[in-house]
Amino acid sequence: MIERYTLPEMGALWSEESRFQKWLEVELAVCEVHAEMGTIPAEALAQIKSRASFSVARINEIEKTTNHDVIAFTTNLAESIGEAARFVHYGLTSSDVVDTANALLLREACDLLLAKIDALLPVLKGRALEFKHTPQVGRTHGIHAEPTSFGLTFALWYDEMRRNRERMERARDAVAVGKISGAVGAFALLDPIVEEKVCARLDLKAAPVSTQIIQRDTYAEYLTTMAIVASSLDKFALQVRHWQRTEVREAQERFTKGQKGSSAMPHKRNPIISERICGMARLVRANSVVGLENVALWHERDISHSSAERVVLPDSSIALDYMLHKTTALIDGLVVYPERMLENLNATRGLIFSGQLLLALTQKGVARETAYEWVQRNAMKVWDDGEDFQRLLKADADITSHLSASEIDRVFAFDTYLRNVDAIFERVFTD
């Protein structure tokens, strides 16, 4: 991922230094288990642990010759260890190291993402409670429908992010799996107890069965989970973009002092953070397809997955980390215009109360189909001729024969539509 969208902690996790450090942790854990089982001498283990080190620059230099990064890594380790280096990588294949180290990397990435979700959740809850009783027009198909609560949108997003947190926890569990089973997964050169002991040392589950690699359905689960979370953030940001449209202007991103919206038009305030979140969600979703494509490999393995994973695993992790960070700031700093919401509620001159009027007529004994026809014919006059809905209803003999003027007036109240908001909030915010 480019530096522009990389936060320090997640960026450091996916650095070459961090990746090789995880490889070293796996190699050392294997050596410790071998020494414990008597496969390698204790003095050799002591020499390995005291001397083992690596240089990213040296590994990259060696790889120019070997054209194999793991061999370049073990070669560099041997340079630092000396004679005891013959016991390093004992009985292993490259993927034993790489995939087990990936489990460590992915688990830490999940922890960072979970922390970001945990930062977003209270912000969503706070804004939901702040605007619980703020009326806003609800829209279906982009058209004004009925009044709703502005806070209900944030309650909805809170509930969705709570589900996303559970998904991320499941993905963390899925990827925290190691394997030390050899070139085709049959433990030809190792006792299965080595795998169990190494994974226990690293606090990983041992794969019950593997080929040369950890099966890539686990990585696909991680990548698709991130795609789902990114899609939720995409949804949130898209809604902000709608609210900020000039014709709507119910809420907008915070516009800071000195910020510029356009190189050509000084008046512009553009929803640039929301648009950035929407754009980056496309990257994370696209990367999840790569994860799915990597599930099917030839026989016990090929390396068609390897090159793609070097890109999509860090890039998706870094992108989602950034998106969560920006979404939290976006929602926390969102500037809200309740008075504009009231203007928009009144923009259709009462049409948003047609549903309540329909029910009021049916309660008076009018057949639903008939009541619908009466209400709709007045509504269409409002759409087409700019009439006032409430005035038209009071002039309609069919309607006034069943509803008094005061009963019609009672229909035009927000309270009817918002009376159950508290009950919804009680169901959502049970923690």
Could you give the residue numbers annotated as active site? 141, 262
| Residue 28, both tokens | 């050392």
Q: What are the C-alpha distances in Å from 204 to residues 179, 181, 190, 330?
A: 9, 15, 18, 36
In sequence order, what DSSP letters do the residues of 12-47 get, joined into one string?
A: HHTSHHHHHHHHHHHHHHHHHHHHHHTSS-HHHHHH
* Contact status, residue 23 vs residue 95, Cβ threshold 8 Å: no
- The DSSP 8-state label assigned to residue 87 in this structure reads G
| Residue 378, both tokens | 């007045």
| Residue 5, both tokens | 């969208």
Q: What are the C-alpha distances in Å from 219 to residues 70, 161, 175, 291, 346?
A: 21, 21, 7, 6, 50
Q: What is the largest CA-CA distance in the chain?
A: 103
Q: What are the C-alpha distances in Å from 90 to residues 2, 86, 294, 301, 309?
A: 37, 8, 28, 21, 26
* Contact status, residue 73 vs residue 188, Cβ threshold 8 Å: no
Distance CA 260, CA 270 (A): 9
Distance CA 320, CA 333 (A): 20
Q: Which of 197, 125, 110, 216 is nearest to 162 (CA)?
A: 125
Q: Which residues of 55-65 are buried (b: 16+ CB within 10 A; e: fewer)?
A: eeebbeebbee
Task: Give the three-state DSSP class for 209.
Answer: coil
